[in-house]
Amino acid sequence: MKVNIQTPNFVADIKLVNFIEKRLAKLEQFYDKIIYADVFLKVQKTSEKENKTVEVLLSVPGDDLIVKKEAKTFEEGTDECVQSLERQLKKRKQKQRAYL
């Protein structure tokens, strides 16, 4: 799976990039037909502590799965996105098995 990380208005640290790629790679054990993942990291200009937005677009045959989470850190947001995508991929796989 190819992972594209886009960070408008700032440069992502290599540790953050490696963390995101490692977390997204775990999704392949739940669904092996993932084509690519686009990750958008944004910092909102608000006074709230949860001003980091992580948006993941996962391209799978048929549809794209999109998850958007806000958190205090990009790592926390990435973990929340991966957990949500994990549930969606498991549900998708069960539906496919039902049709076979």
3-state secondary structure at position 72: coil
Per-residue model confidence (pLDDT) at position 100? 65
The class (CATH top level) of 2-99 is: alpha beta
Each residue's pLDDT, cut to its tens digit, for the chain (100 residues) gives 899 999 988 888 999 999 999 999 999 998 888 999 999 999 988 888 889 999 999 998 888 999 999 999 999 999 999 999 999 999 888 887 877 6
Share of the chain above pLDDT 90, in %: 67
- Residues 74, 38, 83, 31, Cα dihedral to 10°: -150
Cβ atoms of 24 and 39 within 8 Å: the answer is: yes
26 closest CA partner among 81, 65, 93? 81
For the chain, give every domain's residue range.
Answer: 2-99
Altogether, the residues listed in the chain come to a count of 100
